Structure 1
């Protein structure tokens, strides 16, 4: 049980690490266009992200597929930028008239990319142990817990800004998405694989 808790903590640290803020940026961009009353949709997206993130880890740990780390490191900020841009151009999500399925598919694909980004480090963590599924489940639990915390914080912030300060949701989404884009652009430059 101690080892399982270790991997839960590893998952928590992986997402909540301020120095590796790509997860926080991605989840913030993902949650921005949703109102607090849509928390179930955001929780669904967070769970899809966790599942595909861990699926990428399984594929990597069991050496089913190997992807060049330099490309993955570049694609991670691309996923953040794409999510922020999508927030700016898709007003239907903000009005609640669009289904969640496109978001879920894109989030799942992006979860695979983020999972491959962490796979080499995770493989080093479980090196020398025969047990791989226990650590993966613990890690997945830590990721999910931390992601729920982040999206809830974004939803609470959205509620405070929109209700208490009377800021329109569309303005909140636009400003938040632009800020995320401005933070992400240097990451693209730093990780460019050529």
Structure 2
């Protein structure tokens, strides 16, 4: 297996690993307010998340930033809860048309990336260039995220088509689910601070 394949696989596994379910829950909560027809906005949001994630990995691998892993592990579900609460209490249209949301998602990507940064830094070592491995890892991450988003919207499409599952029901179902999981994760991690 070549170097690109190794890091691509790591990125793909990082996002799709059910032990790190917080990334998947974040993506589903983030996408809950969008419809299938808004795939361009969702793609930009997911890419903003990947850019933030990549930035924190690069800064960590270059030893510019060092994160307190317990604090970061606590903040990751906070990002999910913030996203869920925004979805629940604000009109979907105002959320979907707010360009500030892209900056928030970029910031949340930085936080999520810091959760993996210590492992990535150790993987890189001190003598290796990070450019190619970081690029391959983030391509794998982006592909994995897009697969999750496609599965998410495929389910939405099927439920909407065959069960008349309205967009509002969908939004609240996944926002409340995201909030409950986030609260559970916050509670389980608060003792680590």
TM range (shorter): over 0.9
The match for 1:131 among 112, 129, 138 is: 129
Deviation per CA, 1:135-177, whole angstroms, max 9, x where unpaired? 1001010000000011111111112222321121111111111
- The answer (yes or no) to whether the contact 2:95–2:101 under 8 Å persists in 1 is no
Residue number in structure 2 paired with 1:150: 148
Query: Which residue of structure 2 lines up, in the alignment, with residue 90 of structure 1?
Result: 90
- The answer on 1:28 being equivalent to 2:28 is yes
Distance 1:77 1:191 in 2: 9
Q: Is the 8 A contact 1:56 1:116 kept in 2?
A: yes
| Structure 1 match to 2:163 | 165
Aligned-residue offset at 1:41: 0.6
Q: How does 1:4-153 map to 2 (within 5 A)?
A: 4-93=4-93, 98-127=96-125, 129-153=127-151
Alpha-carbon distance in structure 2 between the residues aligned to 1:184 and 1:92 = 20
1:126, 1:67 → 2: CA distance?
Answer: 16
Shift of 1:128: 5.4
Which segments of 5 or more consecutive residues in structure 2 lack a partner in the other structure?
A: none
SS state of the match for residue 21, structure 1?
helix
* RMSD, aligned α-carbons: 1.6
- TM-score w.r.t. length of structure 1: 0.93
Rounded Cα–Cα distance in structure 1 between residues aligned with 2:92 and 2:40: 18
The aligned length equals: 192
